[in-house]
């Protein structure tokens, strides 16, 4: 009985230790190197993905404005809150698995073949699509409007 009591104390201590270690982990998203960010920015430019992000947000705003009957001032205020830089980290994070050589190869493919640009890795990436939906919904909710 005494042995069982000691084991239960050890089990509780082990659980507390594991919990404290998992809580102390850094929850920052992984980010590519500075050089890879430069290449990713060039890929975004080659694919015109920045325009896609802005157009997507505008369509969400127009949809919400019509559905909820926003006045013109609110629609303008929400539209002006679109800032691609607020979404850029999500793009960087989605490319973190690629090394510099792979990114350069991808960039060359986009620069060389214009047909390839319309079928790009970003518009087909389910995680990035989900993140873009969340970002656009946050814009519509006014989370980026400066007060």
- How much is the pTM? 0.75
Print the SS3 string covering 12-30. Answer: HHHHHHHHHHHHCCCCCCC
Q: What is the pLDDT of residues 3-45, one digit of tens each?
A: 545 555 545 444 444 544 444 445 556 789 999 999 999 999 9
Q: Return d(Cα 81, Cα 55) in angstroms, integer.
A: 13
């Amino acid at each position: 009985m005494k042995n069982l009591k000691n084991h239960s104390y050890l089990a509780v201590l082990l659980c507390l230790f594991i919990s404290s270690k998992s809580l102390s982990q850094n929850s920052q998203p992984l980010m590519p190197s500075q050089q890879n960010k430069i290449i990713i920015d060039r890929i975004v430019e080659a694919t015109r993905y920045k325009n896609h992000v802005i157009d997507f947000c505008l369509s969400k705003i127009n949809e919400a404005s019509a559905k909820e009957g926003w006045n013109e001032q609110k629609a303008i205020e929400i539209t002006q809150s679109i800032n691609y830089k607020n979404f850029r980290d999500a793009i960087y994070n989605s490319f973190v698995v690629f090394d510099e050589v792979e990114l350069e190869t991808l960039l060359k493919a986009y620069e060389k073949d214009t047909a390839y640009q319309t079928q790009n890795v970003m518009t087909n990436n389910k995680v990035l699509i989900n993140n873009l939906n969340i970002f656009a919904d946050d814009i519509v909710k006014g989370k980026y409007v400066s007060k």
